Amino acid sequence: MGEASQLKVLFQIRRYGLALICCGLALALAWWLDAPTSCLFVAVMVASLYGGKGPGLFSVGLSALAFDYFFLPPRFHFYMNSSSYLRFGPFLGATLLIVGLIEARRRGEEARRQIAAQVQRSEAYLAEAQKLSRSGSWASAADSMQTTYWSEQMFLLVGLPPADHPPSVEEFAALFPPEARARLVETFESARLKKTAFDGDFPLISQNGTNRTLRIVGHPVLGASGEILEFVGTAIDVTEQRQSSAALQRAFDEIKGSEDRLRLIIDTIPVPAWSSRPDGSSAFINQRWLDYTGISVEEALGWGWKIVVHPDDLDRTMEYWQAILADREERELEARLRRFDGAYRWFLFRVSPLRDESGRIVQWYGTCIDIEDRKLAEQALRASEQNLRLMVHCIPGFVITSTAAGEVELVNQTLQNYTGKPLEELKNWPAVVHPGDLPAVGSLWTRSVKTGHPFDADVRVRRADGVYRWFHCRGLPLRDNDRRIVRWYTLLTDIEDRINAEDALRNSERDLNMIVETMPGLVWCAAPNGELNYVNQRILDYIGTNPQALAQAGWLNFLHPDDVQPTIDAWSNAVETGEPHDVQYRLRRFDGTYRWFHVLGQPACDADGHPTRWYGLLIDIDDRKNMEEALRSTQTRLSRAAQTATVGELSASIAHEINQPLAAVVANGHACLRWLSAEPPNLAKAHEAAERIVRDGKDAGEIIRRIRALFKRASLEKTALDMNEVIGEVLRLTRSEVVRRGVAVETELEQDLPPVVGDRVQLQQLLLNLLVNGLDAMEEAADRPRRLFIRSKHQASEGVLVEVRDCGPGLAEPDKAFEAFFTTKENGLGMGLAICRSIVEAHQGRLWAESADGTGATFYFILPMREPNGDSR
């Protein structure tokens, strides 16, 4: 048990002891005085008063027991008769009442004491609070400004010494400057009239140079009928508060102004700018940005700004922006932004983060700087630099720059590639120069470096594979404003091929000259105007003169007089038109005889097609001419002879021609007889038959008349023949004729044809006839090329096929062409193709014709091959 509760118990025991003692004393006194009631009353009173409620009741109990035992009859018994109740009851009631009254009073006393303590404490608190808050409280009368109460703090507030009484109205008024004083009075009067509270700040007259302001607040205390009983209020020193709020206001104003200025600056700086939230979405965008992009701020905020980023840059930009956000570092980025007019320009985005004290990023700030022009300039510069570098490295020459002292500084890539040496090694350039050229080149270079003369030399430079090639070197000095040499630029050009070509040209010229002079041909050259300016030695030898004499006499003097005019005409025409010159004339030999020459001239033309020179040849064709003449007469004779020789072969055809009408005559005769001998004779039919006999007989006579001139049969001499050989012989025989008629003959002769058995002359005749037939057919053809095509071919089963195709008008009836006396020619006898057929049939072959109308006729014949045993099939 604690000491306090021990004390309490002790105190309780003392109180109850007091009650016991009081009761004892009262019993003794009552016994002695025999005034039990009064004595016991006193004892209860004392016990209650000093012991409290518990001891009071205790003493009531003791008193009641003592009164019953000692004083009520029967005495000394607790037993009580009914008459005693009348005394005991009131006694007990009175004692209990006494205890109750005393207890009630004691309680009221206790409560009052506690309230007083509370009030005292509150006042202490208030005073303390007022001191702390520099405020004081006051009360004043209802009708005047005379204050009735001032708290201690009030005095301190106004700087008066604390006193028991509030200052008088005059004293109080003197505290304020006149202006504040008047206002104070006015305020108070107004509040009094309106019965409202008032509140105002009033400056005090400055003391010790400090200006203080008092805030005075007053409330009317109204009575039951609404009249003002008094004013109570407080006064607070608000000097510091006012000062700080004024300072705050000023600071606000300052901030406001600077914010406006900032916004103005931000909006007017010639740079689009913006800020973003930490997540990257934009929070602010300046006017410049909006003006540039032409979109509204609502569109641009958040992520809306993405629409003005160039689509090609968007992904990259977003990626980079996210990286920036992730790295939380200040960065730069280049991207294209769309201008209001749709054009894209390059911008440099520069962003930097704003962090709070804890380093957390609060905002990103960024600007966009237009770098389009810089970008373009950069590109142009890069391109031009690239071009220049490419140019230097790609030009098919070597470029060297050297110092003023002649030391190699730089060489281009081509030279490094060529020599297979890097720049460092090339600084020792004599190492790659041909030793034979080195002394000369070295001294030239030294001299150039010394004098500043351009350097110019041909030199052999070694290639990576060790081969030397000729180069032309040309070096020029670069001089500064003072004419001092700053650097040498040298260009090496590969002239190996040119030198080789020059050598080759020289050689070929020499060779050509030798060829022209020694060849067994006659060669001449002429100027574009036709003037003869060169003839080779052979021509001079032929005509037996020398160049001077030829020049004097003129070449026309050596021509046959009959050929001079046609030759002049042809040559003038050739010179005029630039067409190749092609004539034949007779040229006088040194011994005075004339020989035929075929003269060919060809112009050499420049790029524009103008002749620069004529080159020509004289070909001696005298022997050929004579031979042609001989051949032609032979041919005519042969043709005649062949025709004679083939008449025998025609007999079958002739027989057929005659037998046809004869057969008709005989049959008609028989028929006529039969009609006549019929029962009855049919005279009409017989007459018809007789008429036909006459007609057909006449026909037969006509045919015989046509054959009259034909010749007798000749015997055949069959041998094994190569058909290609026969074709060749016939072509040779007819070449002149073919040329004369302006026909081109093409052949397609199969090699290694098997031999056929036949009469050479007859087969020649056959081919000759077909050829001449073709030539004749094309006589009229002016609208298409005159071409004759001859082909030989080995047909596996049948023998050798020969085909002769012309470009004539073709055959209307190919089958009839072979009939004797069938002709389309005015002067033809109509025997040519009939003879051909008879020849072919005599050789057991086949002859036929095909014609596609308008594209010429084709004649085919097949001759059987020689059998292995040497006999024909």
CA angle 687, 693, 696 (to 5 degrees): 140
Report the nearest approach of other proteins to the CB of residue 871 (Å): 15
Among 504, 663, 704, 852, binds other proteins (CB under 8 A): 663
Which of residues 663 and 744 has its CB atom nearest to other proteins in the complex? 663
Check if the beta carbon of residue 150 is closer than 8 Å to that of residue 138. Answer: yes
Query: What are 522's strand-pairing partners?
Result: 618
Q: How many CA atoms lie within 13 A of 134 on its CB side?
A: 13
Which of residues 387 and 651 has its CB atom nearest to other proteins in the complex? 651
Stretch near other proteins under the rule CB under 8 A, chosen from 414-422, 498-506, 673-681, 778-786: 673-681
Q: Which two tokens stand for residue 747?
A: 């052949």
CB atoms within 10 A of CB 251: 11
Among 68, 230, 437, 657, binds other proteins (CB under 8 A): 657
Which of residues 29 and 664 has its CB atom nearest to other proteins in the complex? 664
Query: What are 600's strand-pairing partners?
Result: 582, 617
Query: In degrees rounded to 5, what are phi and psi of residue 285?
Result: -140, 130
Among 10, 381, 655, 812, binds other proteins (CB under 8 A): 655
Q: Which two tokens stand for residue 674?
A: 């039969």
Rounded Cα distance, 32 and 35, in Å: 8
Contact between 846 and other proteins (CB under 8 A)? no
Residue 37 C-alpha from the chain's centroid: 131
Among 173, 667, 731, 745, binds other proteins (CB under 8 A): 667
Contact between 683 and other proteins (CB under 8 A)? no
Which of residues 230 and 657 has its CB atom nearest to other proteins in the complex? 657
Cα dihedral 271, 275, 281, 284, rounded to 10, equals -80
Contact between 29 and other proteins (CB under 8 A)? no
Which of residues 452 and 697 has its CB atom nearest to other proteins in the complex? 697
Residue 749, class by beta-carbon neighbours within 10 Å (0-12 exposed, 13-18 middle, 19+ buried)? Answer: middle
Three-state secondary structure call for residue 347: strand
Report the nearest approach of other proteins to the CB of residue 843 (Å): 13
Which of residues 402 and 668 has its CB atom nearest to other proteins in the complex? 668
Contact between 694 and other proteins (CB under 8 A)? no
Stretch near other proteins under the rule CB under 8 A, chosen from 380-388, 468-476, 667-675, 803-811: 667-675
Contact between 687 and other proteins (CB under 8 A)? no
In the region spanning residues 771 to 830, those forming contacts with other proteins, defined by CB under 8 A, are 815-816
Contact between 688 and other proteins (CB under 8 A)? yes
Among 77, 194, 510, 670, binds other proteins (CB under 8 A): 670
Site string for other proteins, 613-652 (x = CB under 8 A): ---------------------------------------x
**What DSSP designation does 221 have?**
E
Which of residues 414 and 668 has its CB atom nearest to other proteins in the complex? 668
- Rg (alpha carbons) of the chain, rounded to whole number: 78
Which of residues 664 and 749 has its CB atom nearest to other proteins in the complex? 664
Query: Of 144, 232, 224, 228, which Cα lies nearest the Cα of 194?
Result: 228
Contact between 376 and other proteins (CB under 8 A)? no
Contact between 668 and other proteins (CB under 8 A)? yes
User: DSSP of 404-468, one letter per residue?
Assistant: TTS-EEEE-HHHHHHHT--HHHHTSGGGGB-TTTHHHHHHHHHHHHHH-PPEEEEEEEE-TTS-E
Report the nearest approach of other proteins to the CB of residue 699 (Å): 7
Cα dihedral 735, 741, 744, 749, rounded to 10, equals -40
Contact between 834 and other proteins (CB under 8 A)? no
Which of residues 684 and 796 has its CB atom nearest to other proteins in the complex? 684
Report the nearest approach of other proteins to the CB of residue 682 (Å): 8
Site string for other proteins, 718-757 (x = CB under 8 A): ----------------------------------------
CA angle 460, 463, 469 (to 5 degrees): 30
Which of residues 452 and 814 has its CB atom nearest to other proteins in the complex? 814
Residue 670, class by beta-carbon neighbours within 10 Å (0-12 exposed, 13-18 middle, 19+ buried)? Answer: exposed
Helix (H) or strand (E) holding 667: helix 622-677
Among 661, 810, 845, 864, binds other proteins (CB under 8 A): 661
Which of residues 57 and 689 has its CB atom nearest to other proteins in the complex? 689
Among 644, 660, 736, 823, binds other proteins (CB under 8 A): 660
Among 92, 139, 476, 662, binds other proteins (CB under 8 A): 662
Among 496, 699, 737, 850, binds other proteins (CB under 8 A): 699
In the region spanning residues 48 to 67, those forming contacts with other proteins, defined by CB under 8 A, are none
Query: Of 420, 500, 428, which Cα lies nearest the Cα of 464?
Result: 420
Among 263, 695, 740, 784, binds other proteins (CB under 8 A): 695
Which of residues 370 and 699 has its CB atom nearest to other proteins in the complex? 699
Task: Using the structure block, give the residue that is written with the tokens 């009928």.
Answer: 225
Contact between 664 and other proteins (CB under 8 A)? yes
Size of the site for other proteins (CB under 8 A): 30
Contact between 380 and other proteins (CB under 8 A)? no
Which of residues 199 and 699 has its CB atom nearest to other proteins in the complex? 699
Contact between 690 and other proteins (CB under 8 A)? no
**CA distances (Å), origin 226, targets 185, 196, 573, 784, 821:** 23, 12, 150, 146, 170
Contact between 665 and other proteins (CB under 8 A)? yes
Rounded Cα distance, 589 and 583, in Å: 18
User: DSSP of 367-413, one letter per residue?
Assistant: EEEE-HHHHHHHHHHHHHHHHHHHHHHHSSEEEEEEETTS-EEEE-H
Which of residues 218 and 864 has its CB atom nearest to other proteins in the complex? 864
Query: In degrees rounded to 5, what are phi and psi of residue 74?
Result: -75, 135
**CB contact burial 559-588 (16+ within 10 A = b; e otherwise):** beeebeeebeebbeebbeeeeebebebbbb
Among 237, 313, 649, 696, binds other proteins (CB under 8 A): 696
CB neighbours of 163 closer than 8 A, spacing ≥ 6?
Answer: 155
Site string for other proteins, 311-340 (x = CB under 8 A): ------------------------------
Q: Which two tokens stand for residue 569?
A: 């005409």
Query: Of 592, 620, 622, which Cα lies nearest the Cα of 522?
Result: 620
Indicate the residue type of 153.
Q
Rounded Cα distance, 476 and 455, in Å: 6
Helix (H) or strand (E) holding 802: strand 799-805
Which of residues 429 and 675 has its CB atom nearest to other proteins in the complex? 675
Which of residues 610 and 695 has its CB atom nearest to other proteins in the complex? 695
Which of residues 68 and 696 has its CB atom nearest to other proteins in the complex? 696
Stretch near other proteins under the rule CB under 8 A, chosen from 104-112, 179-187, 388-396, 661-669: 661-669
Stretch near other proteins under the rule CB under 8 A, chosen from 47-55, 140-148, 656-664, 773-781: 656-664
Task: Using the structure block, give the residue that is written with the tokens 């029962």.
Answer: 679
Contact between 355 and other proteins (CB under 8 A)? no
Among 28, 174, 604, 678, binds other proteins (CB under 8 A): 678
Stretch near other proteins under the rule CB under 8 A, chosen from 234-242, 279-287, 682-690, 791-799: 682-690
- What does the binding site for other proteins look like in residue numbers (CB under 8 A)? 652-653, 655-657, 659-668, 670-671, 674-675, 678, 682, 685, 688-689, 692, 695-696, 699, 815-816
